[in-house]
């Protein structure tokens, strides 16, 4: 009985040692920090338990991979005692241990080193683009080499080796020369590519305009044929143009400064005109509408008005009413071009312009700027006001300004200064 018990214990110990050896070999007793690598489809070719290295040192192994639309998500198990050697900003590439050997995952530290924190469980590692290109080349090359017959490949390699035997120095010199050419040529590649792109654009442009160029050439032939029969007239035209150029040159030479000064003065005036340009339509419309009223007032070449005197003497202008031109608001149409004012609905107020008047003056309306009776049209009853009013009355009376009677100025003057005038 004792022998049987020892035999069972021996078998159990042997099986336990085998299982323990298998567990150690397969890293079943290792603790990992799992991270994910976003790889291309090359990642699907990794063997189970493939190595994970950084700078040639094994820091983990491949635990699993899952296909995705862009390639594969590879789950890496990093040894917890090695994660301090792996910064969180590493990238990953899949490389073969030999040209066609078993693949492994290589973690690439950024060029110049890294100051990032150590990688942690659950982090995601992006793939290294350059290495992916190498992986793709090897992946595409492997099926091609498998399709090539080994005997033919051996014969070809032997022929290449025989051809290169004893010519290593010459081959090295050729490679150095080629490297020198490429070294000088590589910096010019961006310019060459840009030139080729521009050449394509220019070619497209020429292709688009060639039909028009052909049409121009045909028209040029027609024009040349036409000009051949009109040489005398063409010569006379050139002579006239030459004379005009001479006159224009002399005119501009004599008046160049005046033209420049005129342009400088005109610039300020045009700015004012441009500022008030939106108000021109309503102003002109109001002038046209006022013409009908004036025609009615001057019907039969006779002024028809009812002049009413003011019941109270208006206050005189004082120093506080000094005229100013301070209104900078731009154009103001008010009720133009169709004002509602009439004999039964006279104007009783004036817009509040910045003209120097800050309170009513008692002249029949709420305000009348002193500039209307002083600065702009001259003093009341003065020669300047009389000349202005006669010039305004002359077209309606059908006479010249000198023939307008002084009575017309006497009747119209108060109305121009803001008094209330009724038409009957």
pLDDT tens column, 20-68: 666 555 555 567 788 888 887 766 677 778 888 888 888 888 888 888 8
pLDDT tens column, 104-145: 888 888 887 777 888 888 888 887 765 455 556 666 666 666
45 in a structural domain: yes
Domain boundary among 94, 110, 143: 143
311 in a structural domain: yes
Domain boundary among 91, 109, 143: 143
pTM for the structure as a whole? 0.31
pLDDT tens column, 304-329: 877 766 666 666 667 776 777 777 77
41 in a structural domain: yes
CA distance 160 to 163: 5
Residue 225 has pLDDT above 80, yes or no: no
DSSP letter, residue 127 = B
Lowest-confidence segment of 179-193, 260-274, 359-373 by average pLDDT = 359-373
- Tell me the residue range of the domain where 55 lies: 31-143
Other Cβ atoms within 10 Å of 376 Cβ, number: 14
165 in a structural domain: no
Question: Would you say the C-alpha torsion 346, 352, 355, 359 has a positive or negative sign?
Answer: positive
| Phi/psi of residue 38, nearest 5 degrees | -85, 100
pLDDT of residue 315: 66
The count of domains in the chain is 2
Domain boundary among 143, 161, 179: 143
pLDDT band with cut points at 50, 70 and 90 for residue 373: very low
- Asked whether 317 and 267 are in contact (CB, 8 A), the reply is no
Residue 258 has pLDDT above 50, yes or no: yes
């Amino acid at each position: 009985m004792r022998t049987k018990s020892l035999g069972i214990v021996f078998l159990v110990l042997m099986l336990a040692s085998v299982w323990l050896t298998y567990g150690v070999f397969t890293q079943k007793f290792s603790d990992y920090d799992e991270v994910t690598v976003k790889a291309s489809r090359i990642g699907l070719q990794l063997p189970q338990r493939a190595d994970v290295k950084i700078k040639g040192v094994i820091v983990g192994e491949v635990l699993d991979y899952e296909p995705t639309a862009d390639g594969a998500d590879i789950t890496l198990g990093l040894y917890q005692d090695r994660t301090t050697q792996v910064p969180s900003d590493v990238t990953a590439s899949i490389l073969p241990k030999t040209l066609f050997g078993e693949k492994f995952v290589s973690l690439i530290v950024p060029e110049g080193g890294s100051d990032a924190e150590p990688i942690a469980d659950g982090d995601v590692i992006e793939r290294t683009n350059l290495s992916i290109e190498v992986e793709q080349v090897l992946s595409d090359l492997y099926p091609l080499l498998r399709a090539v017959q080994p005997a033919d490949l051996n014969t070809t390699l032997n022929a290449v080796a025989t051809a290169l035997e004893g010519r290593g120095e010459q081959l090295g010199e050729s490679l150095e020369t080629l490297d020198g050419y490429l070294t000088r040529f590589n910096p010019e590649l961006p310019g060459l590519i840009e030139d080729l792109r521009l050449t394509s654009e220019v070619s497209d442009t020429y292709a688009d305009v060639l039909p028009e160029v052909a049409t121009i050439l045909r028209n040029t032939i027609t024009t040349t044929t036409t000009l051949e029969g009109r040489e005398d007239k063409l010569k006379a035209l050139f002579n006239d143009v030459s004379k005009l150029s001479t006159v224009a040159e002399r005119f501009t030479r004599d008046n160049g400064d005046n033209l420049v000064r005129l342009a400088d003065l005109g610039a300020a005036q045009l700015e004012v005109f441009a500022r008030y340009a939106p108000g021109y339509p309503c102003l002109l419309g109001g002038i046209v509408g006022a013409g009908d009223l004036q025609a009615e007032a001057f019907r039969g070449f006779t002024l028809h008005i009812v002049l009413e005197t003011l019941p109270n003497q208006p206050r005189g202008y004082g120093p506080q009413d000094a005229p100013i031109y301070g209104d900078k608001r731009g154009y103001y149409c008010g009720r133009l071009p169709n004002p509602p004012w009439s004999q039964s609905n006279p104007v009783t107020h004036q817009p509040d312009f910045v003209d120097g008047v800050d309170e009513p003056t008692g002249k029949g309306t709420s305000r009348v700027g002193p500039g209307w009776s002083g600065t702009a049209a001259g003093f009341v009853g003065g020669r300047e006001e009389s000349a202005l009013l006669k010039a305004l009355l002359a077209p309606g009376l059908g006479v010249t300004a000198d023939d307008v009677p002084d009575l017309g100025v006497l009747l119209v003057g108060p109305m121009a200064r803001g008094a209330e005038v009724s038409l009957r």
